[in-house]
Structure 1
Amino acid sequence: MSTVSGDKQTAVPQFFAGRRWLLPSAVLNELDPDADRAGRRPRRTARDWLVDFSCFVVAVTIGLIGADSLARNPHVSENLAHLDQLIGAVACGAVWLRRRWPLGLAVATVPVGLVSDTAGGACLIALFTLAVHRPFRYVAWLGGINIALIPLYYWMRPDVDLPYLASVVMTVLMVAVVVACGLVVRSKRQLMLSLRDRARRAETEARLRAEQAQRLAREAIAREMHDVLAHRLTLLSVHAGALEFRPDAPQEEVARAAGVIRESAHEALQDLREIIGVLRAGDQDDTGRPQPTLAALDALVAESREAGMKVVLDTRVTDPAVVPASVGRTAYRIAQEGLTNARKHAPGTEVTVSVEGAPGEGLTISVHNPAPDGEVAPVPGSGQGLIGLTERATLAGGRLEHGPEGDGGFGVRAWLPWG
């Protein structure tokens, strides 16, 4: 809800975009936080000039009516009438200063209105301007003073056309209506400014939500890349290390290891493509290749066995295909991360992968490896994989536990809801 003028953006409501002349300069100054920078006062808009001229005309018209009544009043001398008209003319001219000094003008018109008939219109305009531009406490004080002086005014200068009581009542009502109109205008401006503030808050909240969505997307990419690529890259590391430490291996083994390295690199690229595709299009990537589920666990174990691992798979799920896709995918990632960690930190050990569960009971998956024989060279790792799996299981409504076990080995055990 904004309009741009040059290099400067002004938060003007969309309805008034391109129609700034319809808004008072005071409202534009509030809507544009940079308008009063360096003490610069807002310029009057076309609407301001029209309203100010109308107020001046109203003040002069009421002053002329007062001058006519003054001329027919036998209790007022000619010289006093000329002085009254002079004071009224100055008061009408001061109406053009009402935007700059609304409070000062309203205070100055209190004694002026008491001694001059022709200044009555200027006094009403000043009181109206005060109600528009200043808080209610100022309006209450000065409006109350004006109303309290009305009986005194008509006692000093009785109206030639109306009785005393009628004159007092009509003038009090006129002052009350003028103040009420000013308060209504002020309330409308306050409403417009509050809508501006709500629009700005909505824009800020939308920007924060977008930033949060971007951050969550980056975290999702990091988790997926770690879970998926760590498995493939570990296979590459194992076979590359075998070629490095056995340069005299038979040609068949070298060719087989090179083939596994090539295939693992191809699969790593394919998995990376799947990650980006999932983030863009849900559960499938741009090529339509589905994400792994529990049914793909056999292929994962077979791949690890081809890399030289000893893996025992104990599946007690009658039909893995009926497991919900999100639950199966999470279980697959847990098994994948467990095999990757076992390959890194406990090479040569026999890893046991167990899966069991049924609808209504949940799905339980565990990966266990015993303590490795001898010393194992430290392998780079940050532990973010298990942290990401714990978060993934929690988001799925389940739980995950991991840590050393009684036989010196390491285990990962998770439970996932299966409704």
Structure 2
Amino acid sequence: MDGARARPIDAVAVLVAAGLTPPTGYTGATLVIVSAGALPLLWMRRAPLAVAWICAGVALAVPVLGLVAPSVIAPPAADALLWPPAAPFAAYGAMVFAAERRPLHRWMPVIAIAFAVLTLPDRLPLAGRSGAVIAIAVTYGLYVAVRERLRAELAERSERIERERLAGELHDVVTHRVSRIVLQAGVLALSAGDDRARAAAEDIRAIGCDTLDELRHMVALLRRGTGEGFDLGLPMPDLRPLVIDSARDGVPVELVVDGPPAPVSGMVGRTAYVVVEAALANVRKHAPGAEARVLVRYAPGTVRIVVRNTGGSPDAWVPATGPGMSLAELRTRVELAGGTLVCRSPGDGGFRVEATFPTG
């Protein structure tokens, strides 16, 4: 939470714990063991649970060795201030720097340290002082952990609010400019006397409309605070504008939605829109006079987009269309979105484009 590297305050904790060791009354090898238990405090930010277990091990080892060899290792002095000296720092580190771990993992070494303190029945004042200090360290550690978590949540909320504000400004400014481009291109397409100029103006208008749709989708992603491919809260883009444009160009389209709509990722939604757009463009280009049907079928975990058209009429009017997207390019884009694309001719002169995407 405060970083993994040791800081000067960690060195101060080591010095304080080492300074409290001599008053415990230990000498010789026992004093070295208890003093060495304070050194791992330098790493309590990087490995808080390991440091807590080392402290618990030292605290339990000393009483056990005292039972095995009482003539060599005596219990701590009754007038010592605290035992073991590193206990409150290790307990604090387990509560603060291992806050993301499971509660059982955090509490087990602290319980072991408290149990080691209770192994001094003939040193009840020392055990009481040590237990009280450890309890205070644990309580303060829990307070710091909650405070840091709330601080992180407030920072994330502030960042999200700022992101939403920037997304709104981006949408307002860019949408205004692109809308003017689309309107001017539409006027030019209606007033141009040359077919090539009219087709170019119509392409500019169509690209501008696509840009507005992409921008609207990206702004929704920004406002939801998730990245492309991870957002699961956006509905499928509205396909009715494609149906209206296709009917205006002489290809009537029936739009059918089957099943309860499910939210999809931003990338899946935009790719599905492109599939329908490219399929209808190919119908207008290669099968003028045909009728088309767009089916959006929601199933558990998937959404299927089917564009099927009948055979065209050779003498039908052919609208001016752009270069469009080849089936190979369309398949690549679908696969990048995690879906599959199947294109085939049913044998009645028509064509069928089917794309399946995951909704999860």
TM-score for both structures, normalised by structure 1: 0.32
User: Between Structure 1 and Structure 2, whose CA radius of gyration is higher?
Assistant: 1
**Is the helix fraction higher in 1 or 2?**
1
TM-score for both structures, normalised by structure 2: 0.36
